[in-house]
């Protein structure tokens, strides 16, 4: 059916060809035995049966539940539907769909409308996986950014690019693997890779690759000395551990203080050993 719908659109010109292709993919396959395909004028009415709608509904519910599990302020699935990050993701899906069909102007128009509506700027060329959640908004995601599944990004985050000459094959923006949490205000810059399950603390600046399941804090970002998975099991809001022992600078100072105390004790022992022993008079 998709091919027939596309074939009817071929005669309409290049712009309509791309739109027909996108619509054929977007509207999915019909149920078994369904052979009717409307005319090109009614191509928007091409759709499957109730099973397709059921899959769409179950996928939406799964997404809403995934957001609810990560954000305790959500009281119901309806709450999630009013979050700007959800609207931004939905509009980006449509903009990216147009972008892949080389309808760049339309994709940009959808992108600008989404930015006006949600205060979130996601370039239509960015690739985003499943169950992505961007909380609150005011974030920027660049053109060549790639985001895996189950990624959580908080407000004021930038997935920014570098000079085009420093990228590899036009890759200027970071690649975020599945399960990553990026805290508010973090800046992840350049064609780097953030490993699966990693955490980027609030206001961190990341310019180098991040190892999987590590936690990065600071400017520039450094790995915390204690494994956060043991310190804070489960989902870590804002990707930021709150314990003092999770600060790499504080931890290093503590280590230096302990070494200094040990050296002080050793010096005292050496001084005591060098002190002349009092002579004992014989009877």
Nearest in space to 197 (alpha carbons), one of 175, 173, 178, 219:
178
Q: What is the pLDDT of residues 197-249, one digit of tens each?
A: 999 988 999 999 999 988 888 888 888 866 544 444 556 666 666 655 556 66
Count the Cβ atoms, other than its own, within 10 Å of residue 113: 12
**203-207-208 Cα angle (round to 5):** 125
Alpha-carbon span 198 to 211, nearest angstrom:
7
| Whole-structure pTM value | 0.67
pLDDT-derived band at 276, boundaries 50, 70, 90: confident
Mean per-residue pLDDT, 143-164? 91
Indicate if the pLDDT at residue 179 is higher than 50. yes
Which carries the bigger pLDDT value, residue 167 or residue 264? 264
Supply the mean pLDDT for the chain. 77
Residue 52 has a pLDDT of 66
Indicate if the pLDDT at residue 61 is higher than 60. yes
Q: What is the pLDDT of residues 20-57, one digit of tens each?
A: 444 344 333 333 334 344 333 343 444 455 666 777 77
């Amino acid at each position: 059916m998709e091919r027939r719908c596309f074939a009817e659109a071929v005669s309409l010109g290049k712009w309509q060809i791309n739109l027909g292709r996108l619509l054929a993919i977007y509207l999915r396959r019909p149920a078994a035995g369904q052979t009717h395909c409307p005319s090109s004028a009614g191509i928007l009415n091409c759709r499957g049966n109730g099973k397709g709608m059921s899959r769409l509904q179950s996928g939406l519910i799964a997404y809403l539940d995934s957001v609810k599990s990560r954000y305790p302020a959500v009281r119901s699935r309806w709450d999630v539907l009013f979050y700007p990050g959800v609207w931004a993701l939905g509009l980006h899906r449509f903009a990216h769909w147009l972008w892949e069909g080389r309808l760049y102007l339309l994709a940009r128009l959808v992108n600008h409308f989404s930015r006006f509506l949600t205060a979130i700027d996601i370039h239509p060329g960015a690739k985003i996986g499943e169950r992505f959640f961007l909380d609150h908004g005011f974030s920027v995601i660049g053109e060549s950014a790639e985001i895996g599944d189950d990624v959580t990004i908080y407000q004021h985050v930038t997935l920014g690019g570098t000079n085009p000459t420093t990228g590899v094959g036009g890759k200027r923006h970071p690649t975020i693997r599945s399960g990553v949490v990026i805290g508010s205000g973090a800046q992840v810059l350049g064609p780097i890779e953030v490993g699966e399950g990693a955490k980027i603390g609030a206001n961190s600046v990341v310019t180098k690759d991040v190892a999987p399941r590590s936690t990065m804090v600071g400017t520039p970002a450094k790995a915390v000395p204690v494994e956060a998975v043991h310190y804070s099991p489960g989902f870590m809001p804002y990707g930021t551990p709150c314990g003092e022992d999770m600060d790499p600078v504080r931890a290093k100072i503590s280590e230096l203080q302990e070494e200094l105390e040990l050296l002080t004790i050793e010096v005292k022992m050496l001084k005591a050993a060098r002190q002349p022993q009092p002579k004992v008079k014989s009877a």
